[in-house]
Structure 1
Amino acid sequence: MYATVEFVELLERSENLGRMIRDSEVMAAYNSSQEALYQDSETKAKIDAFTAVKEQYEEVQRFGRYHPDYSSIMKAIRSKKREMDMDANVAAFKIAERNLQKLLDEISGTLAATVSETVKAPRSGAAMKDSGCGCGSGGACGCAS
């Protein structure tokens, strides 16, 4: 591919947009909440405890209700998830993550609309969700998502 003036300008604008996102208040809030998430020993302990129970949960899921520890693991994972989700650092991180995703969705929607009205762009964090069928429509096609 040959580098044209238009292509070089497009790359420069893309890099500028990336820098603007990286330097935004939304990204700063995300980075600081992520840092707080991993710096606080209590929060880290809750995340580690949840991760350990989640591994057991995944093992139990292979056998479903027939696994001898099904009930205890199901109760434990709900309990650990609630403890983790109620942590102030985890809650702040989730809010910052949602705000960053919203910003990225708005930008991708604007870019897509600039190209054409028929270009599809992820909405409401759909890029981070698995619809199950691979169509990428987020279940809009009527598939089992």
Structure 2
Amino acid sequence: MIATMDYVAILDRSEELGKMILDSDVMEAYRHSQKELHEDKEAQKLVQAFSSIKEHYEDVQRFGRYHPDYNTIMKEVRKVKREMDMNDKVASFKIAERNLQQLLDEISQYLAYSVSEQIKVPKDGAALSESGCGCGSGGGCGCAV
């Protein structure tokens, strides 16, 4: 019975924490910048152009520099990405996204270290990395960091 009550208390506190995060200024700034990004037609054109060229880039990556369009696609990807990143709405969204990720990382670290200093905590969004590992060991386990 005591273990059950402890679990209920932990769940209640985790819900409170979740609500605090959702109501935070950082989350509000993220939502606001996300809304502005989605409503800006120019930014959406740039994002769409980048998504389109990224598909070509992924096809070329399968063959690497041996693909006949490798140099052309690499230059085009950098050009389109630079254009997208220079847009004010895209830049604002990326900053807000980074700030939210930092808040979540800090909370994760605080929670983990309150249990034990030995717990490995993903940092800088490592849990969301494309490698899928997010172990926080800095590549010590052999994953792609």
With normalisation by structure 2, the TM-score equals 0.88
Pairwise CA RMSD: 2.2
Partners of 1:53 and 1:107 lie apart in 2 by 36
Partners of 1:135 and 1:29 lie apart in 2 by 26
Quick check: 2:128–2:134 contact (8 Å CA) kept in 1? no
Structure 1 position 79 matched with structure 2 position 79: yes
The 3 A distance-change label for structure 1 pair 40 and 124 is same
Partners of 1:72 and 1:123 lie apart in 2 by 35
Measured after TM superposition, the shift of residue 137 of structure 1 is 3.4
Indicate the residue corresponding to 2:19 in structure 1.
19
Structure 2 counterparts to residues 1-16 of structure 1, below 5 A: 4-16=4-16
Quick check: 2:120–2:137 contact (8 Å CA) kept in 1? no
Structure 2 counterparts to residues 44-83 of structure 1, below 5 A: 44-83=44-83
Partners of 1:139 and 1:53 lie apart in 2 by 31
Q: Give the % identical residues.
A: 55
Partners of 2:134 and 2:122 lie apart in 1 by 13
Residues paired across the two proteins, number: 144
Partners of 2:124 and 2:32 lie apart in 1 by 23
Indicate the residue corresponding to 2:92 in structure 1.
92
Unaligned 5+ residue runs, structure 1? none
Quick check: 1:126–1:138 contact (8 Å CA) kept in 2? no
Indicate the residue corresponding to 1:137 in structure 2.
136
Deviations 1:51-96 (A, max 9, x none): 1111111111122222222222111111000001111111111111
> Aligned letter for 1:107?
I
Measured after TM superposition, the shift of residue 38 of structure 1 is 1.1
Partners of 2:141 and 2:114 lie apart in 1 by 28
Secondary structure of the equivalent of 1:136?
A: coil
Partners of 2:106 and 2:10 lie apart in 1 by 19
The 3 A distance-change label for structure 1 pair 47 and 85 is same
Partners of 1:108 and 1:135 lie apart in 2 by 13
